[in-house]
Amino acid sequence: MGSASGTRADGLVIAIDGPSGAGKSTVAHLLAERLGYLQIDTGAMYRAVAYLMHVDGINPDDLGAVERFCRHIDIRLDRADGCQRVIANGRDVSSQIRTPEMSLLTSRVSALRPVREAMMQVQRRMGARGGVVLEGRDIGTVVFPDADVKFFLSASAEERGRRRFQELAAKGEHVSLEETIEAVSIRDLQDSQRDLAPLRMAGDAIAIDSSGRTIDEVLDTMVSVCMNTLHSVGN
């Protein structure tokens, strides 16, 4: 794992990477609650950028326009009534960023260097003192390569597609299970093959397959690792 030899002011930096739909956001939220840490949902931040670019008609192929756009974006993560809200340029876009269309656009937008550099600086500032749980695609490999604890959470494309389909159906979205699974598979390919910060597991990360496992089982494993790390740092 990462640099557990020192102590940060507010605790550990915990990185949870993995493909779309693996349950990273849910587990990260619960883990942060269990440890009393701050959750930083980096995936939601990239989705918000993609949504803003879509609304503003920014062409992802025009890197000059993307770079100028990134200078004037303000993305915050708030929590109200136990739910995370994503505020982008003063607007609550929590629902709009979770559609299959935004999932595919996010994979493309998040591979753009100006976007990654802008978001990475924000994420590093938010997590510099420790006491944070960050989840995304490249937290343990790029954003915080010296994270104290690194997890790589995965599940089969079919399992992840089924979970996403249920989420969308519960929100009244009219999508098919087959389309949702296909969208997950396409995004996996895009994320793993992109040139900048591709999806991959850090060499010192702990792999956890959530297929067929309950959230509590995954959470208990992570909490145990984190508590052992805190104990070793304290000693």
For the stretch 83-104, pLDDT in tens is: 778 999 999 999 999 888 898 8
Asked if 165 and 16 count as a contact pair (C-beta separation under 8 A), the reply is no
Instruction: Identify the architecture of domain 13-230 in CATH.
Output: 3-Layer(aba) Sandwich (3.40)
Least confident interval from 2-16, 23-37, 85-99, 180-194: 2-16
Confidence category of residue 5, pLDDT binned at 50, 70, 90: very low
Query: Residue 123: which of 50, 199, 43, 204 has the closest Cα?
Result: 43
pLDDT digits (tens, 9 = 90+) for 139-182: 999 999 999 999 999 998 899 898 889 888 898 888 899 989 99
SS3 110: coil
Sign of CA dihedral 53, 54, 60, 61: negative
Least confident interval from 99-103, 188-192, 222-226: 188-192
Q: What are the structural domain ranges in the chain?
A: 13-230
SS3 20: coil
Q: What integer pLDDT is reported at residue 126 of this predicted model? A: 84
pTM reported for the whole predicted model: 0.76
Confidence category of residue 4, pLDDT binned at 50, 70, 90: very low
